[in-house]
Amino acid sequence: MRAQIALNIKSVGYEFLEEKSGVKSDLLIKSNPVYKKIPVRIHGDKPICESLVIIQYIDEAWSSGPSILPSTAYDRATARFWAAYIDDKWFPALFGIAKAQGEEAKTEAVKQLLAGTTLLEEAFRKCSKGKAFFGGDNIGYLDIALGSFLGWLRVMELNGSLTILDTGKTPSLVGWAENFCADSAVKEVTPETRKLAEFVKMRAPPST
């Protein structure tokens, strides 16, 4: 989804090849022999692996459309820092809720996720500088990094027992999420919540 959003922002045409869950195609293994996982962007005969790396490559390879990475070195470093935090800390806490076994483990996972979301609320206020997105007036690198997980948030909120983006505690992120999901570069590649919910159910450990 990250790669697709970046390509849409740059108005770059592409062919989308979907991998089946649990099956690694010969093309995937050949293109990403180190991690053997998606996504992979193949430009010409050259593969580029890892979603955040792909976003940066797309921004540098095509001058069409607005810039995805911030214009200053400091802002770029800040965006990369928070993108790494999202992948390394925040998303594992989010997915940890679905994998948690027992109420105590689930409570701890929720606590970690909400604490991390509060940090991202503060990061948005600093990075956005009063604008609609982390990247300013347009969707940028950090917007794509976090926004690609909004579908998972909806899955966690399906039964109504957990609200992650809350108008009282994270009002800036609530508004940001609405703007992000409404953008034309995002809408056409956003997965259905029900399909994501089925995927989580399939991957979750059995109840004990």
Structural domains present in the chain: 2-61 (3.40.30.10), 73-203 (1.20.1050.10)
Summarize pLDDT for 15-30 with one digit per residue, the tens.
Answer: 999 998 889 999 999 9
> Rounded CA gap, 80 and 88, in Å?
12
pTM over 0.85: yes
Angle at 186 between CA 39 and CA 150, to 5 degrees: 75
Q: What is the mean pLDDT of residues 107-118?
A: 94
Per the CB < 8 A criterion, the answer to whether 140 and 69 are in contact is: yes
pLDDT at residue 156, rounded to an integer = 82
Summarize pLDDT for 1-18 with one digit per residue, the tens.
Answer: 999 999 999 999 999 999
Summarize pLDDT for 170-193 with one digit per residue, the tens.
Answer: 999 999 999 999 999 999 999 888
